[in-house]
Amino acid sequence: MAVTTIDPTTALVLIDLQNGVMAAPAVPHTPAQVVERAVALAGAFRERDLPVVLVRVTSSPGSGTRGRTDRSGRRSGPRERPEGWDVIVDDLAGHPGDITVTKRNWGAFHGTDLDLRLRRRGITQIVLGGIATSIGVESTARAAHEHGYHVTLATDVMADIDEAAHRRSVEQIFPRLGETGTAAQILDLLRRDHS
């Protein structure tokens, strides 16, 4: 189902648009394209006094999710990162009204105060974008749906390291969690519903 409406109490939630993530390749949209569209959405949300939430992932020794995985032989825990890798990209950062959430897991709800911050503002819907589609965005979308939010997924404001994983999330998972649409479609609804 295509996106049909933007509630008057909607927040934009952008996942992991930070320096370290932007340095990695992504498909089917480049990190620069994702950020460009995210900036357009963030500007429209700010103009309408709707919350913009910038979620960043960081790690430190002992943080993150523990448990056995099938990734034997690969690094799965925190590793040494370059200085500033977890800083939100300049194009999105620096707006005093924005909400910044720091996570140490894939999704933005577990282990953070995101739900509390949204509920205090009366938020009923979230528009999601970010990188990576099948990891941080999908995990956050699943949790948002489970928390009872209306979920809208901005499909061209997200990318992944694996195109098949991106496509599976967009085509098979997201329609079960909410509505999908492009940044242009969401902007059009914002203009129409919040003029």
pLDDT tens digits, one per residue of 79-127: 566 677 799 999 999 999 999 999 999 999 999 999 999 999 999 999 9
Strands 150-159 and 10-15: unpaired
Domains of the chain in sequence order: 10-61+85-193 (3.40.50.850)
In which band, very low, low, confident or very high, does the pLDDT at 68 lie, cut at 50, 70 and 90? low
- Burial classification of residue 109, based on how many CB atoms lie within 10 Å of its CB (0-12 exposed, 13-18 middle, 19 or more buried): buried
Q: Distance between CA atoms of 39 and 91, rounded to whole angstroms? A: 7
Helix 183-193 to helix 31-47 angle (10° resolution) is 0
- With a CB cutoff of 8 Å and minimum separation 6, the contacts of 37 are 29, 129, 154, 156, 157, 183
Q: Distance between CA atoms of 75 and 71, rounded to whole angstroms? A: 8
**pLDDT the model gives residue 70:** 64
Q: How many CB atoms lie within 10 A of CB 104?
A: 16
In which band, very low, low, confident or very high, does the pLDDT at 128 lie, cut at 50, 70 and 90? very high
Average pLDDT, the chain: 90
Six token digits for residue 84: 């500033």
